[in-house]
Amino acid sequence: MLKDIVAAEALGDYRLHLRFEDGVEGVVDLAPQLSFQGVFEPLRDPAYFAQVRVGPETGTVVWPNGADLDPDVLYGRITGTPIGLC
């Protein structure tokens, strides 16, 4: 079940503080998951990574170049709930 992100803040070191529409919030460390290739390459620059926003149409985190991440995966990382059980 898709849970939309309603707030996102870059904390540095490729970490994001996220709040979901159901009130769940927490910090996710993206450094181990980002390959910094293709559309994610610009995110290697901390100043660019800090430009993260919530896409109103998608309900997930997006960057100016269109890079985005699956909100279900992020929700699962914060709650420890496997995808599909969220």
Read off the amino acid at residue 68: D
Q: Would you tell me which CATH number, out of the four given (3.40.50.40, 3.40.50.300, 3.90.1330.10, 3.30.2020.10), belongs to the domain 5-79?
A: 3.30.2020.10
pLDDT of residue 3: 87
Domain boundaries, the chain: 5-79
What tokens does 19 get?
């709040």
Contacts of 35 (CB under 8 A, 6+ apart): none
pLDDT of residue 86: 46
Per-10-residue mean pLDDT of the chain, 86 residues long, equals 89 97 96 91 97 95 96 93 65
Count CA within 13 A, CB hemisphere, residue 29.
3
pLDDT of residue 84: 59
